[in-house]
Amino acid sequence: MTQTLSGGIDALRAEMNGPVIAPGDPGYDEVRRVWNADIDRRPAVVARCTSADDVAVAVRFAREEGLEVSVRGGAHSMPGHAVCDHGLMIDLSLLNRVTVDPGAKRARAQGGALISDLDAATQAHGLAVPMGAISHTGVGGLTLGGGMGWLTRQAGLSVDNLLSAEVVVADGRVLRAAEDENADLFWALRGGGGNFGVVTEFEFRLHEVGPTVQFGLFFWEQDRSREALRLMREVIADLPRSLNAMPAAALTAPPAPFVPVEHHNELGCALLLVGFGDPGEHQQAVDRIRAALPPLFDLVTPMAYVALQQLLDEANAWGSHGYDKGAYIEDLTDEVIEILGDYAPRKSSPLSVLLFYRLDEAYCEVGEDDTAFGGGRTPRYMGFFIGLCPTPDLLPAEREWVRSLWDALRPHMMGAGTYVNALEGQDESRIQDTYGRKYGRLAAVKAKYDPNNVFHRNVNITSPVS
């Protein structure tokens, strides 16, 4: 078996333009590494693709050799979907070019581009695509699951701004997916995850953003966290579309320059408030917060949009050991706030946090069935319950903390489904609950483009349900 595969790897090297790396080769341990340090897997071969043709060659090789396939973009998947043991990793990280047409307000991002790559290219023209809030995340994985972040209230999800995609499907064909070509595949890609092929290029609609936004961070100590979260609920309910806010509970104040030394490493909660329009609207919200419940400390300042996008990068740096769960919650009710206040002091790691994205306005203006996105389009919060540890010994306790918090919040969730990019495992019933009535349609697209389930290292869609 080893001799056969070794010979096959030589053939793969001869056919691909990009490098092919196997165990024992220089750089192997680096290319198999993913963001979550808790994941340690050893693929039999890593195909570092530089074109859609390379990806097609790698897919066909994996099928011929009977190898499991994983696909690496930014390698940010918490469960480590990007890497497999003993299989073939299709590594898109060299396929990272971004091109911008500012006149048409369009951008093309290759499948291995990071959010930072996309932001840098688009902000050169005062434009942006709605993306996530950590800039070293891959554009591909984030988009295929939906893609939510700071611009969601103004411009919707990443998938709501996807215009076309170049996709390598399971039989090695390179297809274009758009409203006017392979429309069933295009629908499925917008929220169906990596089930249908390897996307080697995304075409996005762009929006005018920045280059400067108004930023505010307000921090309250844990003893006032319940009162602060109730204030956040009231403020967020009244925000104009040009503002967005992110509540954070169980937050440990970092040893940053803007944090008074006496409050370094203090447990509490925070509100991050960003204005994309009239600075006066942002200032009105700032004044309301300060007057209603003066924070322990705050930071209010103009900020470059690219700096906003990188704000959470250090706290979520490569090399931490992580586990997370997520849920849709209709509102930060008193009952939810009580649970958050109760569980926050139980965490073990200073890096762990409970984050909430507000989903309304533009998010709600897209039809429920217009995309495959696994979430209702009514106003809601998406909660991310993140256990992140600097050392592996802390992770078991943090994993239990996340799970017990999730269980406590379960009666207050909007059903059993959740955001695809926050699904941590392969629980088929939760996947079906997440997609609801869309699941059967997704399964039919899967059967058409990947009948043998080659692309299964994801939130996997398998066969139709009765």
The CATH number of whichever domain residue 51 belongs to comes to: 3.30.43.10
Hey, what are 372's tokens? 């495959």
Residue 233 counted as domain residue: yes
pLDDT of residue 2: 38
Q: Are 141 and 74 in contact (CB under 8 A)?
A: yes
% of the chain at pLDDT higher than 90:
93
Kindly give, in sequence order, each residue whose CB lies less than 8 Å from that of residue 331, ignoring residues fewer than 6 positions away.
Answer: 233, 380, 381
Taking 70 as the pLDDT cut, the residues of the chain under it are 1-7, 425-426, 463-466
Q: Are 143 and 162 in contact (CB under 8 A)?
A: yes
pTM: 0.94
Hey, what are 418's tokens? 């959740």
Tens-digit pLDDT profile for residues 441-453: 999 999 999 999 9
User: Do 222 and 174 share a structural domain?
Assistant: no
Q: What is the separation of C-alpha 142 from the centre of its chain, rounded to a whole number of angstroms?
A: 4
- Which CATH number covers residue 177? 3.30.465.10
User: Do 62 and 15 share a structural domain?
Assistant: yes
Residue 78 counted as domain residue: yes
User: Do 158 and 228 share a structural domain?
Assistant: no
Hey, what are 284's tokens? 């009105």
pLDDT of residue 53: 97
pLDDT of residue 6: 55
User: Do 302 and 279 share a structural domain?
Assistant: yes
Q: Residue with structure tokens 């920045």?
A: 210
| Residue 74 domain boundaries | 2-91
Beta-strand pair 162-168/297-304: unpaired
Tens-digit pLDDT profile for residues 133-185: 999 999 999 999 999 999 999 999 999 999 999 999 999 999 999 999 999 99
If residue 304 lies in a helix (H) or strand (E), which one and from where to where? Answer: strand 297-304
User: Do 311 and 399 share a structural domain?
Assistant: yes
Query: Among residues 36, 62, 91, which one ends one of the domains?
Result: 91
Gap between the Cα atoms of 188 and 201, Å rounded: 16
User: Do 120 and 82 share a structural domain?
Assistant: no
Distance in Å from the first CA to the final CA of the chain: 41
Residue 262 counted as domain residue: yes
Q: Can you say whether the dihedral through the CA atoms of 372, 248, 358, 149 is positive or negative?
A: negative
pLDDT of residue 137: 97
Query: Among residues 182, 208, 234, which one ends one of the domains?
Result: 208
pLDDT of residue 332: 98
Name the residue among 219, 220, 229 with its Cα closest to residue 339: 229
User: Do 297 and 197 share a structural domain?
Assistant: no
User: Do 128 and 63 share a structural domain?
Assistant: no
Number of domains in the chain: 3
Hey, what are 83's tokens? 């890497």
